[in-house]
Structure 1
Amino acid sequence: MRLSQFIDPGPWLWPRGASRDLLYLLWLGDLAFIILHLCFYRELGMRPVFSLEEDRSYAEFYQYTKELWLACLLLTVAIQRKQWLYYVFALLFVYFFCDDALRIHETLGLWLVETFGIEKAHGFRAADYGELIVVGVIGLGFLFNIGLGCLTADHRNRQVAIQLLGLLFCLFFFGVVADMLHVLLSRIRGFMAIFEDGGEMAVMSFILAYVFQLKRLGPEPD
């Protein structure tokens, strides 16, 4: 099999029917939290828990819910289709939940900084470099296992995996790349919070609707 055939995403599985309605509702929730963040940023009497940047904020708990739903849906899909790669995707979203709730990559990143004496440079904190290393190592581990799953999957399920990886790349952009830009562009912190966290929320909502559509299709890939 040629590489172009192996990585071919095929026809996109767009959310339809109930899945599309779910997506609109999720995006409506995302928009509500962005508006609440703007109210907090403009000092309109909102508490810090309404800020997108605050740890343990209402918006963050909303993301926790999506991640748990995704893990459960992907586990169901894995059982339906008997495909190893969906178990890996389910475990990935379990990790996302644990990482967000327990601050895993921040804690490990700080340990790397203290252990190896990583220093700040080029406008980034030392902790930023430590966190980036942790995210890279864990991400490569999951990517390797997804690749192994693709080798044993049939053509259509492999296409679905490629599509999910594309969506995860979008999530990576907002969660990691935009986060780094947030550090550099501190003068427009309010806008960058919406761009980073709002974008991450919108992409996670789309992934949830996508996987819900996948679950509705049952054991058949199409």
Structure 2
Amino acid sequence: MGIAIDKENTKFLNLLLIADLAFISVHCFYLLGIVTGPLYSIETDMGYAEIYQYIKECWIVVLLFILAIDRRRIIYLSWSLLFMYLLFDDSLQIHERLGEYLAQYFELKPMFGLRAQDFGELGVSMLFGFLLFSFIGASYLVSDNLEKQISKRLFILVVLLACFGIFVDILHTAIPWDQVFELFGLLEDGAEMIIVSFIVWFTFSLGKSQVNPSEIQGNN
């Protein structure tokens, strides 16, 4: 694909993952009562781990936006907008707030162990996902083969992120048992941190990539 995966890039990924594992370990100490204070939990809004997550998401947005300008390709801009939404959604709780409003406006009812607000949140996520991926899809159609391969990899990573951010979150809410509840919380937020680190590393690698025209032709 012409993406540079050298020792420097690998070291960068390792640093990101070490930081993720450090936050996850501190969260486990918090659950065991070894450390106190909710800011040490990876589930706490505006906690230490979540601020770190916001910084990584900001890096992704900036790196993709720079690629869009440098290479004059709209596909990178479309992906940058998607991650910008994810950053704002995480930091400003967009789908939670709009989901609560939709649940009240449409008088949604709780079902299957889920709150009415959960259905509203799912509707908001699906709406923004449809709009943003429509833009990405349109950009994909006018992209060259290399950019399509890059988009496919980003799409896989985003799908993995959605699986933990949306579907595991639903299970997290629906299952009432305390020990399983803590396990789902750790799985959801810990996996999200690791996946976002891989996306940071991937977009960073794109900026250092050396495009080989013969590779592009070979993938046609």
TM over 0.5: yes
Deviation at 1:186, TM superposition (A): 3.4
Q: Do the aligned partners of 1:74 and 1:87 also contact (CA within 8 Å) in 2?
A: yes
Amino acid in the other structure paired with 1:189: F
Deviation at 1:184, TM superposition (A): 2.2
Of 198, 214, 217, the residue aligned with 2:190 is 198
Measure the CA separation in 2 of the matches of 1:97 and 1:45. 28
User: In terms of mean alpha carbon deviation, does 184-193 or 24-33 score higher?
Assistant: 184-193
Contiguous gaps of at least 5 residues in structure 2: 216-220
Q: Do the aligned partners of 1:175 and 1:196 also contact (CA within 8 Å) in 2?
A: yes
Of 82, 101, 105, the residue aligned with 1:111 is 101
Partner of 2:15: 25
Could you say what secondary structure the match of 1:121 adopts?
coil
Could you say what secondary structure the match of 1:186 adopts?
coil
Deviation at 1:16, TM superposition (A): 3.2
Task: Supply the RMSD in Å over aligned alpha carbons.
Answer: 1.7
* Per-residue CA distance 1:24-78 (angstroms, 9 max, x = gap): 1111111011111111111123210011211111111011000110001001111
Matches within 5 A, 1:61-80: 61-80=51-70
User: In terms of mean alpha carbon deviation, does 12-21 or 34-43 score higher?
Assistant: 12-21
Q: Do the aligned partners of 2:99 and 2:120 also contact (CA within 8 Å) in 1?
A: yes
Measure the CA separation in 2 of the matches of 1:148 and 1:176. 25
* Per-residue CA distance 1:80-135 (angstroms, 9 max, x = gap): 22111110111111111111111111010001011000110011111110000000
Amino acid in the other structure paired with 1:179: D
Of 96, 106, 127, the residue aligned with 2:86 is 96
Measure the CA separation in 1 of the matches of 2:160 and 2:3. 16
Matches within 5 A, 1:147-186: 147-186=137-176
Measure the CA separation in 1 of the matches of 2:2 and 2:158. 15
Partner of 1:211: 203
Contiguous gaps of at least 5 residues in structure 1: 1-10
